[in-house]
Structure 1
Amino acid sequence: MSTPAPLRRGWTTGACAAAATRAALLRLWGGAWPGEVSITLPRGETPVFAVAHRDEGEGWAEAGIVKDAGDDPDVTHGALIVARVREAAQGVTFRAGEGVGMVTKAGLPVPPGEPAINPVPRAMMEEVVAEIAADLARAPNVEITISVPGGAALAEKTWNPRLGIAGGISILGTTGIVRPFSCAAWIASIHRGVDVARATGLEHVAGCTGATSERVVQGLHGLPDHAMLDMGDFAGGMLKYLAKHPVPRVTIGGGIGKITKLAQGAVDLHSARSQVDFAGLAELAGVPGIAAANTALEAARMAPDLGQHVAEAALTQLSSRFGTARDGSAIAFDVVVIDRAGTILGCAS
């Protein structure tokens, strides 16, 4: 049996923006257009990027790099990341061009009113400017405008609208590298959602396992979009962050299978990493036949009040393990259990 080929890694939008900045700046300051450029990433890697777009005019030059996310299903894979550079009066400044969002809410790594270009990509571009300026005896004073044609449409497939980033995507990356199917990016998005909720004064947020439970919980409590944390299977990633950065009230919503795992002590709800204990579920419901069920939904058909039992057991787990934040403040949990159609099977608070 052959060994599967390893998944191919890719490059972040921030790395592509830095590479595009290098290509454009070399041209602005008198060089020939490069066919490819290399940059140094925060951990020392030196990838090479092909220059896919070139343009110039009076006092400016711009270059574009096509983002290659490797084997990760990244919504920005194949997007053109464009950097336009022109000399500025003082230091390095950043502007948002077409398809790059503007920050409108507090709690993100850059303040409201700034382009959604995160600190590490900014530092990478500043390093490129400093290096080329030193090599060519130029003053490192440059205005950089980052654009992503079609970025506004891509942003609708991300958390950006919910987080208060308007008009386009964010330029992201802490290492410059996209690691295929990494959990880290999803968990980081959950953390940013908590940060925005706290910064905007929300006292009630919700973490749900999927779109149906999110719709039910949002309607049940009348919560705004930026209160909804796309928890997915990563309950632990959300709950541990909330323990350090508490919000007074947290609703957890999901299907009976996922919430059963939570009730039985799991915080990673992925099917490959946790399973429903049907014998324990039978004991919880007082219905021995449940031990032979194949799915939690089948078990719920055997015991109509099972959803309520699961909600209460999950609430006990949450309250005992995460009900007191590290600063001593209380977090009040409630739990909503649904079926696949969105019908509420149980609520506990």
Structure 2
Amino acid sequence: MGKLKRSKSNQDLRGGYTTGACAAAAARASVRALIEKQSVDEITIQIPNREWVTFPINRLEQSDTVLCGVIKDAGDDPDCTHGLEIQCKARLVNDKGIKVLGGLGVAVVTKPGLELSVGEPAINPVPKANIIEMASLEWLNASKTLQDTFGLELTIIVPDGEKAATETINERLGLVGGISILGTRGTVRPYSTSAFAASVRQAIQIAKTNGEQHVVLTTGSRSEIAAKKIIPTLNEMAFIQAGDFIGVGLRSAKRYKVKQITVVCMIGKLGKLISGRMMTHVSGYGIDFSYLSRLAHQEGIESTLCEHIASANSGRHVLDLVRDSKPTNFYNRLCKEAQQHAAKYVSNALDVEVILIDFNGEPIGKSRSE
């Protein structure tokens, strides 16, 4: 049988850029304008996936400080941050180095369990590093006198960020006052569209047509990288980033008579699968922490910790709470619960396995005992 090729219509599905990439562009532009004291119409930056991208500058305000704004284009993903202006205000300060602050419309962390400490602005580590890297490219062009005398303070601002955040579960996660500055790649893939769901279906069809009987569904690039290390014997074609459409991947596997599906994911997505929700978008239903608490109790986790799990504010928080409690049985139980729901979702028509990875990509739980 001949090999299938992806249709042009799916290839043309338009991606976009993250809030982090826009912030990095605004930061580089604002530093350039601050140093050169000239207008900046567009700016080219290297985003975290190491592509070079040029952004138009939507706003430039110059005085003793410089404020630049970039409009976020999420492509064909109906993201609540699409169309927001992501701004950076740059100013010289007496302290050496480059400091990144959160301003109006950028959330502040108020609860533990996230990548950031309580009290910090919700600017995640990868985009923060990208902001500093891009600003540094301009700061290196400053005069030696300027570099020896001053440092840079960069404040990220999202004027409509607080309003946009009402469409997310940020507040429930303890992210108060605005949106998060996110993006481990710098690009947005349109996980939320029917067109992307169609591409997941086609990817399953392509894999099966080319002889793959075992397909791995992942929720993003980090989980896919981990999955390839966990199951190195499979062909590239067998690894499919299903994003939030795990259910679409499962049903497509049933339709095309794939024999085995392995789902590799992190705790946030797993927490939703455990409750039988095969659509895991962040703006949808959250994790049922009371249910996780009951499962932890059944797997021998100490009662006080179970109470803390019931009031946790994120999946990461749950991992932090149980890390020192020999939680392997608990992790395996979570995977087993998700596996049972996934198998039921496809009427037990294929073999389903679920693997939980930590935030470093290491496998910490699985539904199938060796």
Normalised to the residue count of structure 2, the TM-score between the two structures is 0.56
Indicate how the Cα distance of structure 1 residues 209 and 168 shifts in structure 2: closer, same or farther if over 3 A, else same: farther
Map Cα deviations across residues 162-186 of structure 1 (whole Å, 9 max, x no partner).
Answer: 3222211111111111122183286
Map Cα deviations across residues 223-262 of structure 1 (whole Å, 9 max, x no partner).
Answer: 4472679xxxxxxxxxxx9xx976958779x9xxx98653
The Cα of 1:215 is off from its aligned counterpart by 7.6
Structure 2, unpaired ranges of 5+: 1-6, 197-218, 222-242, 245-264, 278-283, 295-306, 317-322, 357-361
Map Cα deviations across residues 48-95 of structure 1 (whole Å, 9 max, x no partner).
Answer: 1111122233x2111110001111222211111011111121211122
Q: Does 1:276 align with 2:347?
A: yes
User: Which of 220, 224, 233 is matched with 1:184 structurally?
Assistant: 220
Q: Does 1:106 align with 2:116?
A: no
Give the number of equivalent residue pairs.
Answer: 255
Structure 1, unpaired ranges of 5+: 196-203, 230-240, 270-274, 281-313, 332-349
User: Which of 176, 185, 191 is matched with 1:166 structurally?
Assistant: 176
User: Structure 1 vs Structure 2: percent identity of aligned residues?
Assistant: 33
User: Which of 125, 131, 137 is matched with 1:125 structurally?
Assistant: 131
The Cα of 1:107 is off from its aligned counterpart by 3.0
Indicate how the Cα distance of structure 1 residues 184 and 29 shifts in structure 2: closer, same or farther if over 3 A, else same: same
Does structure 1 conserve the Cα–Cα contact (< 8 Å) formed by 2:17 and 2:75? yes
* CA RMSD, 1 decimal: 4.4
Q: Does 1:262 align with 2:342?
A: yes
Distance in 1 separating the partners of 2:49 and 2:334: 38
Q: Does 1:62 align with 2:149?
A: no
Equivalences for residues 116-155 of structure 1 within 5 A: 116-137=122-143, 138-139=146-147, 141-155=151-165
Match of 1:236 in 2: none
Distance in 2 separating the partners of 1:44 and 1:212: 33
Q: Does 1:208 align with 2:275?
A: yes
Map Cα deviations across residues 195-236 of structure 1 (whole Å, 9 max, x no partner).
Answer: 9xxxxxxxx999424478978977x9794472679xxxxxxx
Match of 1:290 in 2: none
Which entry has the higher C-alpha Rg, 1 or 2?
Answer: 1
Q: Does 1:226 align with 2:313?
A: yes
Indicate how the Cα distance of structure 1 residues 214 and 36 shifts in structure 2: closer, same or farther if over 3 A, else same: closer
Ranked by relative contact order (alpha carbons within 8 Å, sequence separation 6 or more), the top structure is 2
Distance in 1 separating the partners of 2:19 and 2:312: 26
Q: Give 1:163's aligned amino acid.
A: L
Distance in 2 separating the partners of 1:206 and 1:32: 52
Map Cα deviations across residues 22-42 of structure 1 (whole Å, 9 max, x no partner).
Answer: 111122113311111110123
Distance in 1 separating the partners of 2:57 and 2:285: 43
Distance in 1 separating the partners of 2:173 and 2:286: 20
Normalised to the residue count of structure 1, the TM-score between the two structures is 0.59
Does structure 2 conserve the Cα–Cα contact (< 8 Å) formed by 1:205 and 1:247? no
Distance in 1 separating the partners of 2:34 and 2:285: 51
Q: Give 1:226's aligned amino acid.
A: N
Does structure 1 conserve the Cα–Cα contact (< 8 Å) formed by 2:85 and 2:159? yes
Does structure 2 conserve the Cα–Cα contact (< 8 Å) formed by 1:53 and 1:63? yes
Does structure 2 conserve the Cα–Cα contact (< 8 Å) formed by 1:24 and 1:63? yes
